[in-house]
Amino acid sequence: MCMSTHRHSLHCILPPYILSKIAENGSPALRAMAMHSLMIDPTIRIVRASTAGPVTGDIARRRSAAGNITVPSPLRTIRDAGGEPEAPGSVVVRREGEGPTGDIAVDEAYDGLGATFELFWEAYQRNSIDDVGLPLDATVHYDQDYDNAFWDGTQMVFGDGDGELFNRFTIALDVIGHELTHGVTEKEAGLAYFNQSGALNESISDVFGSLVKQKLLGQTADQADWLIGAGLLTSAVKGVALRSMKEPGTAYDDPVLGKDPQPGHMDDFVRTNQDNGGVHINSGIPNRAFYLAATAIGGNAWDRAGRIWYSALLDPNTRANTDFAGFARVTIDVAVRLHGTDSAETTAVAEAWTTVGVI
């Protein structure tokens, strides 16, 4: 179900509680699909955990700081699994610098990897996921009617969706940015994937996934929709996205998928043993904090608000077990360092965390 306490976790965009709801409420075909996905995801996770390599974030930062200022390339490779449950796919269909193929999933994956790379390089001078130019690989057309997309620590993998509830998983740019950001978090703070640190891990991916989309579209914080996975749901679903950073808990309310369970305030924090302690659920709280800070600061959210969150992720005080309150303190400290104690930025960050009940 795309969850692990291993440092190199398998991170899936579709929360396990949505698949569980489909298994309960869907048609026979949808129930079979959901159960299939629920069985596939832990298998991938176990394989990934057994082959995970070392975390190299500290070394990466030192190398980056050492100073290669040449504009880097994302070094993309897209593979096609051909509907088989294999990752990486066996057929290379597009490499860095090659033109569009006409396969929409291939080309969306290629463009999404590039847009994510550009955000981190142009806004934060980070050279790929590991900051030393890690090639960006992806596999499309994974399995049959597979309802998910995931980062496995080495590559992105996309299912084509079932066509009834979910469209192809390359359709949402913020999904691609979200999943690749899990790789950045692994290389930096290594936030443990359970309870509040896990929800913070998910939130940081939503933050930068949204910023990838906003930057590509040239949207200011006030213009953005602050939705994660817009376009992923088909017209048959009563909903607009997987999550709303602006209004957690309002993204969908559907007879099959159920109701979006995300809280937006600590008063409604969900205590559960499911979903690794609610990592996809409680992420709504820090998500809303970022939305509030970014809109209060104004302008392009990837500039000042995004810089504060990115710097906080790299800060040595953000550790594997950092909770919401701990990360809030780090973001406030970073805002003070970057903009001053009495700055509008520091005030916006502190007020955002206060509004959601974290401080």
Q: How far apart are CA 116 and CA 129, in angstroms?
A: 9
122 assigned to active site? no
**How deeply is 237 buried, as exposed, middle or buried, from its count of CB atoms within 10 A (0-12, 13-18, 19+)?**
middle
Return the SS3 of 149: strand
Question: Which of 212, 217, 214 has its CA nearest to residue 114?
Answer: 212
Q: Which of 133, 129, 145, 118 is nearest to 22 (CA)?
A: 145
Whether 164 is a known active-site residue: answer no
Q: Which of 8, 11, 108, 179 is catalytic?
A: 179
Please tell me which residue in 8, 11, 182, 280 is annotated as part of the active site.
280
Cα separation, 259 vs 269, in Å, equals: 16
Provide the token pair at 304. 């000042």
Burial 201-219 (b: 16+ CB within 10 A, else e): bbbbbbbbbbbbbbbbeeb
> What whole-number distance in Å separates Cα of residue 221 and Cα of residue 348?
13
- Among all residues, which ones are annotated catalytic? 179, 280
